[in-house]
Amino acid sequence: MRGIKETNFNFPGQESVYNGKVRDVYFLEDKLVVVSSDRISAFDHVLPKPIPFKGQILNQLAAHFLRASTHIVPNWLEAQPDPNVSVGKRAEPIKLEMVVRGYLAGHAWREYKAGKRVLCGVLMPEGMKEGDRFPEPIITPATKAEEGHDEDISMEAILSQGIVTQVEWNKLAIYALQLFHLGTQMAADKGLILVDTKYEFGTYENDIILIDEIHTPDSSRYYIQDGYAERQKKGEKQKQLSKEFVREWLMENGFQGKEGQTMPIMPDSFVDEVTDRYADLYTRLTGETLARSKSRDVLKRIEGNVVDYLVKNA
């Protein structure tokens, strides 16, 4: 099977389309049709070759976690008419990323290492090292930028800028922490540690609902539980469940997204390895074996399944 590099559908009732780095979002009057392609990005660049089945894996993982969290907060997902497609409510996005951190890693660690002890208005304890667990999970929000990178923001700034009200903030914070608690439990059941993640919310018919994906390796960081304490004690790097190995391959081949660098072309053997790693990751997170689609014309399959669903549910 060849991977899905791009889509160009025209679904019944379609108003517009947004092409993201990985997903293509088709806007209907009151619904979204989100097609997960097989594109893969690293260092803010989309790589030339798609990864077969990657879109299916991320789409099904997102649904797995969204369905498990409906007792906490309603979400946008209504159906998955195709392995690569999710259809759901077209909410008005709240322009915030609710980033929850259980451990000192990534952006928080880089800020900490630079000497900062306050992130998004939240105080981080002294004496921590990379990979250490926070006493309690912390919320470090970011603004959703129309262009460029998202930026850190404090609760006080969110309220003073009127992005949300105090009542809405309280609700978002409770939802985010409860979702993180659920994600932590689900990860622990699979021998994993949910390190940090992000949640996005929107308003739909005057209610706050969860939108986008949750707890996937593209939106979250996971450590391997086995050996975590020992590695931490020795000051060793933690083992991660992520697409870090793709970044490492790019760096080994002289690419970090910097000006003047040429993107290397992945050989087919490495593309196959990436597919297998994503499939293994799917099994590890869900306990299920990936049912790999055998369709020869995946785009035709997607179009047929989505049109079928939209016509039946018009």
User: Is there a single domain that holds both residue 214 and residue 187?
Assistant: yes
The pLDDT tens digits of the residues spanning 261-289 come to 999 999 999 999 999 988 988 999 999 99
User: Is there a single domain that holds both residue 102 and residue 165?
Assistant: yes
User: E strand or H helix at 305, and its extent?
Assistant: helix 298-312
Give residue 147's pLDDT: 55
User: Is there a single domain that holds both residue 49 and residue 128?
Assistant: no
The pLDDT tens digits of the residues spanning 163-196 come to 999 999 999 999 999 999 999 999 999 999 999 9
C-alpha distances (whole Å) from 190 to each of 194, 228, 237, 285 are: 11, 14, 20, 6
Q: Is the pLDDT of residue 146 over 70?
A: no
User: Is there a single domain that holds both residue 42 and residue 127?
Assistant: no
User: Is there a single domain that holds both residue 195 and residue 234?
Assistant: yes
- CA dist 99 and 107 (Å) reads 11
In Å, how far from its chain's centre is CA 26?
Answer: 19
Q: Is residue 66 part of a domain?
A: yes
* Residue range of the domain that includes 232: 93-241
User: Is there a single domain that holds both residue 114 and residue 164?
Assistant: yes
The pLDDT tens digits of the residues spanning 19-45 come to 988 999 999 999 999 999 999 988 878
- CA dist 1 and 30 (Å) reads 33
Instruction: Say if CB 99 and CB 142 are below 8 A apart.
Output: yes
Q: Is residue 87 part of a domain?
A: yes
The pairing of beta strand 85-89 with beta strand 96-103:
unpaired
User: Is there a single domain that holds both residue 131 and residue 225?
Assistant: yes
Give residue 145's pLDDT: 64
User: Is there a single domain that holds both residue 112 and residue 232?
Assistant: yes
Q: Is the pLDDT of residue 225 over 80?
A: yes
Q: Is residue 22 part of a domain?
A: yes
Q: In the chain, pLDDT over 70 holds for what percent of residues?
A: 98
Among 123-127, 141-145, 154-158, name the one with the lowest average pLDDT. Answer: 141-145
User: Is there a single domain that holds both residue 143 and residue 202?
Assistant: yes
Q: Is residue 258 part of a domain?
A: no
Give residue 264's pLDDT: 92
Q: How many domains does the chain have?
A: 2
Instruction: Say if CB 96 and CB 207 are below 8 A apart.
Output: no
Q: Is residue 193 part of a domain?
A: yes
User: Is there a single domain that holds both residue 113 and residue 205?
Assistant: yes
Give residue 240's pLDDT: 86
**Amino acid sitting at position 236:** E
Q: Is the pLDDT of residue 150 over 80?
A: no
User: Is there a single domain that holds both residue 103 and residue 195?
Assistant: yes
Q: Is residue 281 part of a domain?
A: yes
- Collect all residues with Cβ–Cβ distance below 8 Å to 312 and sequence separation of at least 6: none
